[in-house]
Structure 1
C-alpha cells in the first residue's frame, strides 16, 4: 500500500499522521479545505488538494488526478461541540455526509482500506471505568451523534463491500501543532495562558479526569491499522485509542507549571453544564490486535509540547 489519501492532513492530528506515512515511504495526498488547517503543518513531500469533503465533484477530481489510491485516512471533521449545538445541520453535513462521500469514493474506485477518526464523545457519561468498546453509547451533543453515525456507515460499508475498515475512538489528544482555540485543547489553552502571564482558568474543582494521549502515539495507531496486512476486515472494527489512565485537570496544570517554572495559581470558575466528571478509555483491544501501545509518557509529552510553543513564540 503505497498511495494514501488523508483528509484533514493539514490539521493537528492529520499532519502528524502524514509525517509518519511519509517517513514510512508512502506517497500521500492531503485533502483539506484549510478552514482550520495550517500550511505550516504540511509536509513538503506530500501533494495538497484544497478540496472540501462535502464536495463530491472535487473529491472525484482528486482521485482522477491521483489514480491508484490504496487507502483513506479520514480525519477531516467539524470537531467542536458548541457549533454542533448551534448548527446541527452543518455538523451533520460535514461529519456524516462528508464521510459517506468518501466511502462512496472508495466503493466506486475499489479502495479497500478506510480508517475513520471517531471520538470518546460517542460514550457520553459512562457508568464504569475504564470505558471499553462494549460500553453503551450515549452522546451528549450533535457532534457525538454525528461521529457515532459516521462509525455506523463505515462499518456498514465494511460489511457490504468487503472493505478493511477501522473506527478509532480517540481520547484527549495533545501535542505540538494543537490550536489553543479548540474545545478539546485544554493543554494548549493552559500553555498559551501561562506564556501570556495569565492565570489559567479551571472550570469546576479541577478533580475531573481525562485520558490524555500524545499525538504521535495516535499517529502510530492510525498507521498501524492502515498498514497491518495481517488484520482482516471486521464487522465491528471499533477501537479506543488511549493511554488507559486518568489525569485530573489540577494535576495537569501542576505538571505544566513545574515544567515551565511558573507558580501554580489557577482561577476557578463554575463547572460547565454537561461536562463529564471522570473519563478514561480501555485500550487493550487495540494493543492485542495490533501490538500497539502508547510510548510517550504524559510528562514527556507535556515537555515536548511546551518546548514547541516556546520555540514558536
Structure 2
C-alpha cells in the first residue's frame, strides 16, 4: 500500500513510519522539516511544505492509498492563547485536506485526535468512546470538530476513516527540551540538573501510553476491516505526576528538585481511557509499562548530552 503521513517527521509520525517500512509499505512523508533526532531515511519519499499549501498537498496525495493525519499546530495551552489561529491552522486546513483526499481517491484516512482534550473532565472513569465530550480547551474543541468533519466526508464522499484518541504518548525521540510531554520534559530537566515544575499538588492523574504501542494501534487502524470507528488508545490505568517523579528518581538514581505551582485551568485533571474496544477490534495490548518506558526514554535523553 502507498501511505502518505502528514507530520511523519514528528515524534508520533516517525514511529508510524518505522512500522510501515517494517511491513513493506511505500511511504511518503509530508512535513515542514526534517526529523529532529535522526537522519532522513533512504527508503522514504520526503515532501517538505506547510499544510496550507493545498496545491502541493494535492500533488503529494496523487496515487496514494492511505492518509495518516497526525499534524497539529497547537497544544492545549497554546490553542487557548490564540483560538483563531488554532481554528484556521488546524480545523480549516484539515477540512481542505479531507476534501483533497476525496478528490485524489485516497481510500482511507486515519486521524490522530486526542484522548484527554476531547473528553474534558469526565464524570465516570475509565472513559469509553461513547462518553460525553466536554473539551475545556480550544485544542480539544478543534480536534472534536475535525472528527465530525471527517465523518461528514465519509458519509458524503465514501472515503473510509478511523479515528485514534490517544492518551499521553511518551518515549524516545520526544523532545525533552520543549513543553509537550511531561515525562520527556521532566527527564530533560534531570539531564540539565534543573528543577521540575509541577502545576498543582502532583496528584493530577492521567493515562500514559508508550509511543511504540500507540504507533502499532495507528497502523492497525489503517488496515482494519472495521471502519468509521473511534478508538481510545492508552494504558488503561491512571498515573499521578508524583508517581512519575518517583519512578524517574528510581530510574535515574538522582535527587530531584520539584517546585509546585497553582494548577492550570486549561488542563484536564484526571482521566483514564477505556481501551476495551481497541483490544477487541485492533488486537491492541499495551506492552511497555511505566518503569520500562521511562528507562528507555532516559537512555535516549542521556544520548543528547
TM-score normalized by the length of structure 1 = 0.92
* In 2: Cα distance, 1:42 partner to 1:104 partner: 29
Q: Deviations over 1:197-240 (max 9, x none)?
A: 12212221111101010011110000001123xx1333xx1111
Where do residues 245-264 of structure 1 align in structure 2 (5 Å cutoff)?
245-264=237-256
Residue 72 of structure 2 is aligned to residue 74 of structure 1: no
Gaps of 5+ in 2: none
Offset of residue 103 of structure 1: 1.2
Offset of residue 101 of structure 1: 2.1
Aligned residue among 208, 229, 232 for 2:226: 232
Aligned residue among 108, 111, 116 for 1:116: 111
Aligned length: 304
Residue 187 of structure 2 is aligned to residue 195 of structure 1: no
Residue 51 (structure 1) aligns with:
49
Residue 304 (structure 2) aligns with:
312
* In 2: Cα distance, 1:42 partner to 1:149 partner: 33
Offset of residue 273 of structure 1: 2.6
Aligned residue among 194, 199, 206 for 1:210: 206
Offset of residue 68 of structure 1: 2.3
RMSD: 1.6
Q: Deviations over 1:263-313 (max 9, x none)?
A: 244222222233322111111111111111111111111111000011121
Q: Is the 8 A contact 2:58 2:104 kept in 1?
A: no
Question: Secondary structure of the equivalent of 1:40?
Answer: coil
Question: Secondary structure of the equivalent of 2:217?
Answer: helix
Offset of residue 27 of structure 1: 0.8
Gaps of 5+ in 1: none
Residue 175 (structure 2) aligns with:
179
Residue 144 of structure 2 is aligned to residue 152 of structure 1: no
* In 2: Cα distance, 1:183 partner to 1:124 partner: 20
* In 2: Cα distance, 1:125 partner to 1:41 partner: 40
Q: Deviations over 1:81-123 (max 9, x none)?
A: 2321222222112211221122112211211111001002111
* In 2: Cα distance, 1:161 partner to 1:175 partner: 37
* In 2: Cα distance, 1:240 partner to 1:79 partner: 21
* In 1: Cα distance, 2:40 partner to 2:277 partner: 32
Offset of residue 189 of structure 1: 1.1
